[in-house]
């Protein structure tokens, strides 16, 4: 169970926000963003799944290219996590 510190949002919220920030940067590929998000998540696929659900709910409410890019970065992070667990 992960505790949150007052004023410090849960990891999944921070991952979703970072995915959007990375999506804005034209110099960051989805693969690079995914690697960054996986590192930030500390390998927590549960947090990545929650962040992806948060971003994808945004796609349902108001689809934008930015939200699509953020979701793609989170999917890439999960792909990285899967490939790393296969090597362990």
Mean pLDDT of the chain: 89
Task: Please give the Cα distance from 40 to 1 (Å, whole number).
Answer: 18
pLDDT the model gives residue 48: 97
The model's pLDDT over 8-26, given as tens digits with 9 standing for 90+, comes to 899 999 999 999 999 999 9
- Residue 59 vs residue 46, higher pLDDT: 46
Q: Please tell me the distance from the alpha carbon of residue 83 to that of residue 29, in angstroms, as a whole number.
A: 18
Residue 63 has pLDDT above 90, yes or no: no
Q: What is the pLDDT of residue 2?
A: 53
* Neighbouring C-beta atoms of residue 59, cutoff 10 Å: 13
Mean pLDDT of 54-66: 88
- Residue spans per domain, the chain: 11-87
């Amino acid at each position: 169970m992960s505790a949150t510190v007052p004023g410090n949002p849960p990891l999944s919220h921070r991952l979703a926000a970072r995915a959007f920030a990375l999506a804005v940067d034209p110099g960051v590929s989805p693969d690079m963003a995914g690697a960054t998000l996986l590192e930030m998540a500390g390998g927590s696929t549960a947090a990545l799944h929650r962040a992806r659900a948060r971003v994808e709910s945004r796609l349902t409410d108001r689809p934008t290219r930015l939200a699509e890019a953020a979701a793609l970065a989170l999917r890439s992070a999960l792909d990285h996590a899967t490939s790393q667990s296969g090597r362990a």
